[in-house]
Amino acid sequence: MTDDETLYDRLGGREAIRAVVDDFYDRLLDDDELGPFFENTDMESLKEHQTDHLCEAAGGPAEYTGPPIREAHLHVPFTLDLIQRSVEHLEASLDAFDVTGEDREAVVAAVAQYEDDLLATADDSE
């Protein structure tokens, strides 16, 4: 690893990040509790947004242009338990692609920073 190598580079770039995202959403869709949240979702668009988001967070050239995380999830009745379950699926996907150690922690932290936004409801003040 060089000093100027980004997390994006270490993860293998956009194609590798997309593979992790695809695996992650496959796991979510197969989950009896989380899968129903995606019943009326354009999964290709969602996967593209998530890939852009993770690429940007990892220091890559992509820029996330989707809706603000909070706004996009106001209608989703997430709980802390469901978020933790999602993180466990993300960790399993990262493991499946041999992402370990600090890189794995950095990806999970990039997602975990949005916990408050994921738990927000339309009744919450901004």
| Cα 39 off chain centre by | 18
Residue keyed to tokens 């890559």: 60
Q: Is 8-119 in CATH node 2.30.30.100?
A: no
Instruction: Compute the half-sphere exposure of residue 10: CA atoms within 13 Å on the CB side of its CA.
Output: 20
The angle at the Cα of 15, spanning 11 to 20, to the nearest 5 degrees, equals 65
Q: Tell me, what's the pLDDT at 2?
A: 55
Q: 42 phi and psi, to 5 degrees?
A: -75, 95
Q: Tell me, what's the pLDDT at 64?
A: 85
- Where the chain has pLDDT below 70, the residues are 1-3, 125-126
pTM: 0.89
Say if residues 69 and 52 touch (Cβ distance below 8 Å).
Answer: no
Q: Where are the domains of the chain?
A: 8-119
Q: What percent of the chain has pLDDT over 70?
A: 95
Q: Which residues contact 79 (CB under 8 A, 6 or more apart)?
A: 119
Say if residues 38 and 29 touch (Cβ distance below 8 Å).
Answer: yes
